Amino acid sequence: MISSLPKQENKLVGGRRLRGMEKQGAAETPLVSIVTIVRNGEEYIGKTIESVLQQSYDPIEYIIIDGRSEDNTVSILREYDEKIDLWQSEPDEGISDAFNKGIRAARGNIIGLINCGDWYAVDAVQRVVDVFSVNREVGVVCGALQFWKGEGREYCCYSVPRLLEREMTITHPTCFIRSALYHRFGLYSTDYRLAMDYELLLRFKRQGVQFLSLEAVLANMQHDGTSEVNWKNALLETHRARVALLGNSFFAGHGYYLFLTAKRQLRIVLEKLGWNGLIRVYRSRLALVKKYKT
């Protein structure tokens, strides 16, 4: 079991656990911990929460880490106080720090991370538990991520763990990880502000952790373009992670980094020109993680 959160002053906390109501797992139905991190997410947090509460699997403990929101997020968390196992609100030092707080608080055998604004397919946790139950050697289960624009499906992105040394080829919102791996190989590195998920998964893979990818959609995300704002810094961080973890590999070289940069710039140009046909070709043939229109 991962150690509990340290006690701190000036921290808002709530949830069932504080009243002595703790979820318990069993051999055939292991406890799954779901962690959501949020800051100023009043518009989206409800949808994420409901997707966890409506899961077909039980038992699930739900933990929400809020970075001291200045909107009505905390009020919404209080409305769900009888259904959330643990929530807390306090300033943090970034995404990695928030992830780590949630993982340290988790008591499940399996941990999933779903950010505010994203939401699970209703059978996501059941599918993952079924896979872990019959594949004892697997440490990470991931799957497909469905992107949306408003109420319409945009495209579906599939995880390809075998290509992780090249790029971030795993859809992080679909990842479920055995909690024992965090004990053995460490949590998210706070040295990374954008590519902390890539660094952690690549670190696990380099340590021999086995991944299994499902073709099923496990999670959903709105495609609003905000992820594109920091793409240069994100590419720099993924490059730094490869340099640190891959040694003299070709994929850790500066030339490969320049290739990835040029490829991303090509996609941006195609999007600005509105050449949707070529964009679909890019996503389905040039991208390592294929994206198919749905």
CATH of the domain at 57: 3.90.550.10
74, 181: one domain: no
80, 14: one domain: yes
Note the pLDDT tens digit of each residue in 150-187.
889 988 999 999 999 999 999 999 999 999 999 999 99
Domain assignment present for 129 = no
Q: If we measure between CA atoms, which residue out of 230, 227, 260 comes closest to residue 242?
A: 260
Domain assignment present for 26 = yes
Tell me the C-alpha distance between 196 and 134, whole Å: 29
109, 149: one domain: no
- How does residue 282 score in pLDDT terms, banded at 50, 70 and 90? low
Residue 229 is predicted with a pLDDT of 63
289, 150: one domain: yes
Domain assignment present for 282 = yes
10, 145: one domain: no
Structurally, how many domains does the chain consist of? 2
233, 278: one domain: yes
Tell me the C-alpha distance between 105 and 99, whole Å: 10
Residues 48 and 115 sit within 8 Å (Cβ to Cβ): yes
Domain assignment present for 130 = no
Cα 274 to chain centroid, rounded: 30
207, 77: one domain: no
Residues 217 and 171 sit within 8 Å (Cβ to Cβ): no
Domain assignment present for 75 = yes
Q: What is the mean pLDDT of residues 30-39?
A: 98
Domain assignment present for 262 = yes
Domain assignment present for 210 = yes
Tell me the C-alpha distance between 282 and 290, whole Å: 9
pLDDT at residue 278 greater than cutoff 90: no
Mean pLDDT, the chain, whole residue set:
91
Residue 31 is predicted with a pLDDT of 98
100, 224: one domain: no
Residue 3 is predicted with a pLDDT of 40
89, 20: one domain: yes
Residues 49 and 36 sit within 8 Å (Cβ to Cβ): yes
Residue 1 is predicted with a pLDDT of 38
pLDDT at residue 96 greater than cutoff 60: yes
170, 278: one domain: yes
Residue environment code for 204-222, b if the CB has 16+ CB neighbours within 10 A, otherwise e: bbeeebebbbbeebbbbbb
Domain assignment present for 230 = yes
Cα 80 to chain centroid, rounded: 22
145, 273: one domain: yes
Domain membership of residue 59 as a residue range: 1-118
Note the pLDDT tens digit of each residue in 53-70.
999 999 999 999 999 999
pLDDT at residue 87 greater than cutoff 70: yes
Do the bridges between strand 12-14 and strand 86-89 make them parallel or antiparallel, or are there none, so unpaired?
antiparallel
Tell me the C-alpha distance between 83 and 102, whole Å: 17
- Residue where a domain terminates, one of 54, 84, 118: 118
Note the pLDDT tens digit of each residue in 209-257.
999 999 999 999 997 654 456 889 999 999 999 999 999 999 999 999 9
- Residue where a domain terminates, one of 118, 153, 173: 118
Residue environment code for 102-136, b if the CB has 16+ CB neighbours within 10 A, otherwise e: bbbbbbbbbbbbbbbbbbbbeebbebbbebbeeee
Q: What is the mean pLDDT of residues 25-47?
A: 96
